[in-house]
Structure 1
Amino acid sequence: MLERRRDIEPWGRQWPHWGRLFNDLLDWNLTGDWGRWGFGRGPSIDLYETEDHVVVEAEVPGYSPEDITVQVGPHGVHLRGRRTEEGNIQRDDYYLRERQFGEFSRTVSFPTPVQADKAKAAFKDGVLKITAPKRLSDSDGMRRIPVERETGPDQGEPRS
Structure 2
Amino acid sequence: MTLVKFNPNRDNKKNGLMTGFNDVFDSIFNDTFFSDRLMSRVPAANISESQDHYHVELAAPGLKKEDFKISLERDVLSISAEQSAQNDLQERSFNKREFSYNSFVRSFTLPDSADDNGIDAKYENGVLCINIPKREEAKIQSRQIEIK
**Same fold, TM-score > 0.5, yes or no:** yes
Structure 1 Cα separation of the partners of residues 93 and 100 of structure 2: 17
Higher gyration radius (CA): 1
Do the aligned partners of residues 86 and 113 (structure 1) sit closer, same or farther apart at CA in structure 2, a change above 3 Å counting?
same
Partner of 2:108: 108
Please tell me the root mean square deviation across aligned C-alpha atoms, in Å. Answer: 3.3
Shift of 1:72: 3.4
Displacement after TM superposition at 1:77 (Å): 1.8
Equivalent of residue 38 in structure 2, options 35, 39, 58: 35
Determine the C-alpha separation between the residues in 1 that align with 2:34 and 2:87.
31
SS in 1 for 2:66: helix
More helix by share: 2
Q: Give CA deviations for 1:78-99 in whole Å, capped at 9, x if unaligned.
A: 1010112223446x92233221
Q: How does 1:66-81 map to 2 (within 5 A)?
A: 66-72=66-72, 75-81=75-81
Q: How many residues align?
A: 113
Return the TM-score normalized by structure 2: 0.61
Provide the rounded CA distance (Å) in 2 between the counterparts of 1:104 and 1:75.
Answer: 20
Partners of 1:80 and 1:53 in 2: CA distance: 22
Structure 2 unaligned residues grouped into runs of 5+: 1-23, 139-148
TM-score (norm. length: structure 1): 0.57
| Aligned equivalents of 2:35, 2:94: Cα separation in 1 | 22
Runs of 4+ in structure 1 deviating by more than 4 angstroms, as ranges, are 18-22
